[in-house]
Structure 1
């Protein structure tokens, strides 16, 4: 965690509009790789051949433009006889896939035994298709570089491994109906996204509920949030705003969000009714 504030609030770092803070570790790793390579008298092409990667890949990693996979880092550490100097950075490099303000939440998400998401702006990242995720990232303003967009999409899809993790975590979503009716990226793309939500909802550890636009009561008008429970029984609440985030750990604050979520689930359509609505919406497309 970045630091603690009053009331048990942990506030994450703020990234810059073009993603510089999230690429710092990549530049550091790339410089280290380059120094080790040149000290061994190897060209980028020669190192790439020994690692079974292309010269362009080595160049991109050294320049901090691409996030190397764990196997790339392990091979490079062995080939360059780095003695663990590169391998020790593997976890931090992997976390660079995420925007700086989301990294603490991403780590919690990977380890959570329970995860509950209220979404009021867009389809939750854990449910997004690659096409939907790319559309969302490409329309973000100020515009992000193509490589940053690719990194964001890749990291969003990688998070979905949680659905197959063992033991299975308990995951639930409450999604505003207007989110599902907004055709971000076009109606054809949105059809695939609705199908993906229906598919995920078939998992026995996943519950999807829709908050209908006609509901006259609403327990969470402040906006979206996520609740986590860790393997050690700690409960936390994550609230994200533009390029910023807050992770609440103090029990009173977390309980307030838990109360909101509990009432939201009671106000929303039941899981069966929600799936029926999704099927009806698909039939209309």
Structure 2
């Protein structure tokens, strides 16, 4: 399946949006807040002063882009008549469909039609290479804790995403991962052993390449953090940047070019694919 420039641009147009996609419950709650505020004859600025939040926060809540915290709900109730409507409605709020983070979904859609994917990670094993036990360990360490349903939905969404590796044999998957990521025994020894076995199996196909950035490397082109890049069927490139509670698609050619340059330099600094597999095998044997 090919993706044209217009489809890529449709996805990229929301690049500037840093907040999660609205869920139906967030939209509904926001609409109720806005209706009550307008009924009270308050502008957003006046209401923001009453609830002691910024005007931008009030706008984000009303548009369904932001999950209101408990203090916002309580202060909004007091400012808008103490009807109890907002307290009751807040119990049913969700951030959107469970599984992949809302801000990651646009990138995930592009992944499904990419001809090449490049990933550098310094924090954790990339999602496409994670074992199920490692996924569960990540979810169990999430703070605040996930509900059992949310944890299962997240694991299933990640497993579904991993089908890319088997379903797209003509797509080039390149990974560069810090050695320290595999040294961290998240979930315990059994999880780590299974993780390394899983990674070695995942990178065996000839269209999948793994390079490890050694912990004792004296030169490093990506000290600014993780990088994700993809190439579409029309030869254009896109980047993706993710931090805590946010992510953004990068379409600006100059920014993508800089990321591409750093990734290319890092490939020359990392261990070769053969040496990387050898290092993983030695690490596995030492566990």
TM-score, normalised to structure 2, is 0.69
In the superposition, relative to structure 1, how do residues 178 and 167 fare at CA in structure 2: closer, same or farther (>3 Å)?
Answer: closer
> Cα deviations across residues 63-118 of structure 1 (Å, max 9, x unaligned)?
xxxxxxxxxxxxxxxxxxxxxxxxxxxxxxx9764211111111011111100000
For residues 179-258 of structure 1, the aligned pairs below 5 Å read 179-258=181-260
* Counterpart for residue 260 of structure 1: 262
CA contact (8 A) 1:225 1:239 kept: yes
**Structure number with larger C-alpha Rg:** 2
Distance in 1 (alpha carbons) for counterparts of 2:284 and 2:25: 43
CA contact (8 A) 1:2 1:11 kept: no
* Counterpart for residue 41 of structure 1: none
| SS of structure 1 residue aligned to 2:112 | helix
CA contact (8 A) 1:22 1:96 kept: no
Please report how far the alpha carbon of residue 232 of structure 1 lies from its aligned counterpart in structure 2 after TM superposition: 2.3
Runs of at least 4 residues off by over 6 Å:
25-28
Q: 100, 111, 121: which is aligned to 1:109?
A: 111
* Counterpart for residue 170 of structure 1: 172
| SS of structure 2 residue aligned to 1:11 | coil
In the superposition, relative to structure 1, how do residues 155 and 101 fare at CA in structure 2: closer, same or farther (>3 Å)?
Answer: same
Please report how far the alpha carbon of residue 4 of structure 1 lies from its aligned counterpart in structure 2 after TM superposition: 4.7
Query: In the alignment, does 2:198 pair up with 1:160?
Result: no
Distance in 1 (alpha carbons) for counterparts of 2:208 and 2:174: 6
CA contact (8 A) 2:98 2:150 kept: no
| SS of structure 2 residue aligned to 1:246 | strand
* Counterpart for residue 82 of structure 1: none
Please report how far the alpha carbon of residue 230 of structure 1 lies from its aligned counterpart in structure 2 after TM superposition: 1.2
| SS of structure 2 residue aligned to 1:239 | strand
| SS of structure 2 residue aligned to 1:179 | helix
Distance in 1 (alpha carbons) for counterparts of 2:243 and 2:226: 9
Distance in 2 (alpha carbons) for counterparts of 1:26 and 1:181: 40
